[in-house]
Amino acid sequence: MYAPIVMWYAIRLLFTLLLLNKCFLRQIDLVLSYPQADIEFATYMRLPHGVTSTNGKSKVLKLLKIYGQKQAGRVFFLYLKEKLEKSKYVQLEIDECVFYKDNVMFFYVDDRIMIGPDDEKINQESNALSKEYKIEEGLDRRFIRGLCELPER
Res 146 pLDDT > 60: no
Rounded Cα–Cα distance for residues 92 and 75 (Å): 19
> SS3 for 31?
coil
Quick one: the chain helix, strand, coil %, rounded to 5? Answer: 30, 25, 45
CA quadruple 72, 100, 139, 36: dihedral sign: negative
Is residue 18 within 8 A of residue 11, CB to CB? The reply is: no
pLDDT in tens, 58-92: 677 777 665 566 677 787 788 888 888 998 999 99
| Residue 85: predicted pLDDT | 92
Rounded Cα–Cα distance for residues 88 and 14 (Å): 20
H helices present in 30-118, as ranges: 72-86
User: For residue 111, what is the enclosing H or E element?
Assistant: strand 111-116
pLDDT in tens, 99-141: 998 888 888 777 788 888 888 888 888 888 788 777 777 655 5
